[in-house]
Structure 1
Amino acid sequence: MRLGSRPPVVGIAAETLDFAREAARDAHPNEYLGVLQATPSADLDGFRDRDGVVVTDILVIPATKSGPTSATMRRHLVPNDNRTVGSIHSHPSGVLRPSDEDRQTFGAGVVHVILGAPYGPDDWRAFDSEGERRSLPVLDVDLPDPESFFDFTQEDIDEELE
């Protein structure tokens, strides 16, 4: 891999895509918008032998505004780190191709997902930074339980602070 390049995005976790489809349904008739974050394949059981990253998380940026035909986020609040790999948003119209406005925002990231109403298993497409359709396999990945994030004690905190 050359200096400054990103590892390839090898897929999206099925659970992550399901979460996004549900969020898009909940936001309908307004657009849903989030930031895609990835985990190195080497950190995921069953994918340790693959080179690259898997989309495992979606961040919803505070103060994101959404309406029936567009959604905007405060770009300065998007993490500028190696985990951020692209964007995901819905088209309540069901159209599964990027608009000119979408293409203008695709430069930041390597994969961008559009979800279309009615947000079923086949109602989505992935695109590259140029707005061209790309492959993004849906992978059966064991993600950590979100509740485990809060599974700590005061003793754990004290130990971390030492």
Structure 2
Amino acid sequence: MVEWYIYKDVLESIMEFSKSFYPREFSGMLYTKNNIIEDIYIIPQTYSNENSAVIRLDFVPLSMSINGSVHSHPSGNGYPSRADLSFFQSKDINIIVYHPYDLFSFKAYNSKGENIEIKVILREKSKLLKNL
């Protein structure tokens, strides 16, 4: 079984975006490297309402490192819909965050729609300093 990780600051950003979109759904794509979710990409021209989000796939960058998705469920339900399960099939990792959008209000799923665990980790300070 593959282990997945997400940087805490990325999860915090996802939750903040979700809060700002509330009561509409928020959606984005995930940059990953070595099974670590390193960043989020907000897709231009995405439409959302209280029940769904429509991503313009023609605006998604063609990058091998974008192999995950994230979206919010304003209802507080962290379980995937049929449409979610269909979309998950093309992604390695999929996250659903839900109201109240704290660091514990998320569930992760693989491409088959199976619930999987993601560990929240801190970025190494040395990595941040090297990127400055």
Kindly name which structure, 1 or 2, has the bigger radius of gyration based on alpha carbons: 1
Structure 2 residue 46 is matched with structure 1 residue 18 = no
- Within 5 A, what are the aligned runs for 1:88-107? 88-107=70-89
Q: Which residue of 1 aligns with 2:35?
A: 53
- Rounded to whole Å, the distance in 2 between the matches of 1:144 and 1:64 is 30
The 1:76–1:58 alpha-carbon spacing in structure 2 relative to 1, beyond 3 Å, is same
Secondary structure of the corresponding residue to residue 79 of structure 2 = coil
> Following TM superposition, where does structure 1 have runs of at least 4 consecutive aligned residues deviating by more than 4 angstroms?
none
1:32 to 26, 32, 41: 26
1:87 to partner: Cα distance: 0.3
- Rounded to whole Å, the distance in 2 between the matches of 1:11 and 1:79 is 22
Aligned length: 128
2:63 to 81, 93, 97: 81
1:80 to partner: Cα distance: 2.6
> Percent identity over the alignment?
30
1:76 to partner: Cα distance: 1.6
1:65 to partner: Cα distance: 0.4
TM-score normalised per structure 2: 0.89
What letter is aligned with 1:107?
A: Q
On the 8 A contact 2:5/2:119 being kept in 1, the answer is yes
Q: Which residue of 1 aligns with 2:116?
A: 134
> Which has the higher mean CA deviation after the structures are superposed, 76-85 or 95-104?
76-85
Q: 1:69-101: per-residue Cα shift (whole Å, max 9, x none)?
A: 000111122123221121000000000100001
- Rounded to whole Å, the distance in 1 between the matches of 2:43 and 2:90 is 15
On the 8 A contact 1:9/1:55 being kept in 2, the answer is no
1:9 to partner: Cα distance: 5.9
What letter is aligned with 1:32?
A: F
Q: List runs of 5+ in structure 2 lacking aligned partners.
A: none
On the 8 A contact 1:14/1:140 being kept in 2, the answer is yes
Secondary structure of the corresponding residue to residue 44 of structure 2 = coil
What letter is aligned with 1:90?
A: S
Structure with bigger strand share is 2
On the 8 A contact 2:69/2:94 being kept in 1, the answer is yes
What letter is aligned with 1:123?
A: S
- Rounded to whole Å, the distance in 1 between the matches of 2:3 and 2:52 is 26
